[in-house]
Amino acid sequence: MKTLLSLAFLASALAADVYVPFYDTSANGYAAPARGWNSFGIQANQPLQGSVGWDFNDWQCVFDQHCSLLPPDYYCSLDSGWSNDGGDAHGRIVANDAGVFNTYGSLKNFTAHMKEKGIKVGVYLLPGALSGDANMTIEGKEDLTLGDIFDTNVNETNLRLPFLWGQPGVQEWHDSEVRYLVDQGVEFIKLDFVTPGSDQPGLPADTSMSAFHYHTAIQNIAPDGKIRLDLSWHLSRESPYFERWQANADSIRLDDDINNSNSTSLTSWKTVQRAIEAYRVFINQQTLNATRHGVGIRVRPDMDNLYVGNAQQMSGVSDVERYSMAIHWIGAGANLITGSDMTHLDDLGKELLFNDEAMDVANFTSQWPMQPLLNGGAPSQLQAWIAGPNEKGTAVVVLANYGPDLGDGGFGTNSSDVQLVSAPLDVLGIAGSSWAVRRVWGGGGSGGGDHEDIGVTSDKLESNLGPGESVLYKIQRQ
Ligand SMILES: *[C@@H]1O[C@H](CO)[C@@H](O)[C@H](O)[C@H]1NC(C)=O
Ligand SMILES: *[C@@H]1O[C@H](CO)[C@@H](O)[C@H](O)[C@H]1NC(C)=O
Ligand SMILES: *[C@@H]1O[C@H](CO)[C@@H](O)[C@H](O)[C@H]1NC(C)=O
Ligand SMILES: *[C@@H]1O[C@H](CO)[C@@H](O)[C@H](O)[C@H]1NC(C)=O
Ligand SMILES: *[C@@H]1O[C@H](CO)[C@@H](O)[C@H](O)[C@H]1NC(C)=O
Ligand SMILES: *[C@@H]1O[C@H](CO)[C@@H](O)[C@H](O)[C@H]1NC(C)=O
Ligand SMILES: *[C@@H]1O[C@H](CO)[C@@H](O)[C@H](O)[C@H]1NC(C)=O
Ligand SMILES: *[C@@H]1O[C@H](CO)[C@@H](O)[C@H](O)[C@H]1NC(C)=O
């Protein structure tokens, strides 16, 4: 009896101790993750062409078709392929104006065209510069060539060599690149293949300082020191790298790409399970490490493109799985950059990408990321997440049934049943109050309807959920 009592006491003491993680303003001055569209999913899956009729020989047209359909203030992120394989007279990576942007005349004219619609353009870069530009002099440091500052102890990869980071000339080169991008109107950089993290064989082991040099260049050159810097992929979270990303980047990719390859659909539930598991690990690294408590997380997660805009045949995930993806990307406070075919959004796709109430939740989670609390936050087919509560007593709760582990989910169980996912308020760290519950999204199946007030609770939140299904609640302390 004594033991039971003390265990009960311990449980409530632990509940009161659930640490509430929060995001801070990022290195380049952003208080919320980016929203937008990125081209990679459709680039990697050109068999989609048959069903949609895009002309993959005319990328500017494809970019324009998709990005013109975005709301104002969204980013149009152009992936690999926008630039030339040889730099300009100063070895700067520049747009393929004569090819990719020939209808507009230049990338600059394309960004101006997008800006008229309020859309911001992003481009894709890799660490280092093109090895073929070794003889070019550095703008602002004309006594040096790129060859003087290349690290030639490593092999060229993706046509590039890394720099001797920190040497004179390296910052000047990054400044010159950002000066070019600012002149072109670019407002977002996806810096890909950064290491440690990206695990393509042969990559230089450590290009993390490229994030430092781009950040410094952004501070030196960009208007108000503001261009978003997104790092990809699967970035290390060991010291000193995590600290370096936090100090220089606005978001980091937590996982490998989630796109299908050469397919007629964009993604699959197996890889989405993996991406959600990668976020679980990421947020636990913040919440379970007491030395990180009380300090805002400065770098937000990039969970890869949110492929929820199209019907199942094109998205590659079912409608309940599309809900689950959107719910988890929003709950994480991750970049909300879709890779869907914007020209074929269905009604659910519009709901999942643009619904006002869900975007209001996204505004909340852009400050308060969700953390997993069932089973102590361990991998689990059934999970309950909470974001907040904030000082006003607002919180967001997500319940999920990930369905059978398709191989990369981390939880390893395989039930296809509809299951009751039950989250006692003490497990969520919010016992002792009553909470008004609004179901923002019910998941389209067993989870119930969208946009409904469902009452007040003082003991638990629970829902039946089928495989792959999630529900998103916004709750308010009474
Ligand atoms: C950019 O657009 C302007 C205005 O439409 C046009 O005059 C100019 O020729 C274009 N630039 C190029 C390089 O085509
Ligand atoms: C740089 O110039 C030297 C001397 O002219 C030449 O041998 C070398 O091939 C050039 N390198 C590149 C990458 O163009
Ligand atoms: C460069 O490539 C060669 C040939 O594949 C290989 O033997 C060597 O180990 C590589 N060097 C580095 C630093 O990776
Ligand atoms: C995404 O596409 C790229 C390019 O085709 C491919 O290398 C990568 O393996 C794809 N990702 C997955 C999970 O298939
Ligand atoms: C894409 O798949 C088709 C068959 O579905 C195949 O013929 C083609 O070689 C593949 N392309 C690439 C780049 O893998
Ligand atoms: C906990 O966080 C601190 C501060 O960021 C870091 O130095 C340390 O390596 C982290 N510990 C673990 C086990 O990750
Ligand atoms: C989210 O926040 C932004 C910036 O504060 C604001 O402009 C927007 O109206 C908010 N959106 C919703 C749906 O509340
Ligand atoms: C569930 O299925 C996956 C994929 O088939 C398999 O790797 C895993 O071992 C299974 N787990 C259990 C507990 O049966």
Q: How far apart are CA 213 and CA 43, in angstroms?
A: 29
The model's pLDDT over 113-160, given as tens digits with 9 standing for 90+, comes to 999 999 999 999 999 999 999 999 999 999 999 999 999 999 999 999
Query: In angstroms, rounded to a whole number, what is the distance separating the alpha carbons of residues 268 and 277?
Result: 15
Please name which ligand lies nearest the alpha carbon of 156. Answer: 3
Q: Does 391 fall in a domain?
A: no
Mutate which of 73, 360, 361, 474 to test ligand 7's pocket (most atoms within 8 Å of Cβ)?
Answer: 360
Q: Is residue 388 in some structural domain? A: no
| Ligand 7 pocket member 356 (CB < 6 A) | yes
What CATH number has the domain bearing residue 297? 3.20.20.70
Tell me the CA–centroid distance for residue 269 and ligand 8, in Å: 15
Residue 6 has a pLDDT of: 39
- The pLDDT, as a whole number, for residue 43 is 92
Is the Cβ atom of 393 under 6 angstroms away from ligand 2?
no
Does residue 19 lie within any of the structural domains? no
State the pLDDT at residue 51.
58
Atom of ligand 6 nearest to the CA of 289: 1
Residue 69 belongs to a domain: yes
Question: How do residues 416-454 score in pLDDT, each as one tens digit?
Answer: 999 999 999 999 999 999 999 999 999 988 999 999 999
Domain that holds residue 212: 24-369
| pLDDT < 70 positions in the chain | 1-16, 49-54, 56
Q: What is the pLDDT of residue 16?
A: 52
Distance 140 CA to ligand 2 centre (A): 21
Residue 145 lies in a domain: yes
Residue 399 lies in a domain: no
Whose Cα sits closest to atom 5 in ligand 1?
109
Catalytic (active site) residue 85: no
Asked whether residue 382 is assigned to any structural domain, the reply reads no
Q: What is the pLDDT of residue 237?
A: 94
Residue 328 covered by a domain: yes
pLDDT at 9: 39
Considering the candidates 257, 319, 405, 426, report the single residue annotated as catalytic. 257
pLDDT at 225: 87
How many domains is the chain built from?
Answer: 1
Residue-level pLDDT at 1: 34
pLDDT at position 416, please?
98
Confidence (pTM):
0.94
Ligand 2 atom, smallest distance to 134 CA: 13
Ligand 5 centre from 41 Cα, in Å? 16
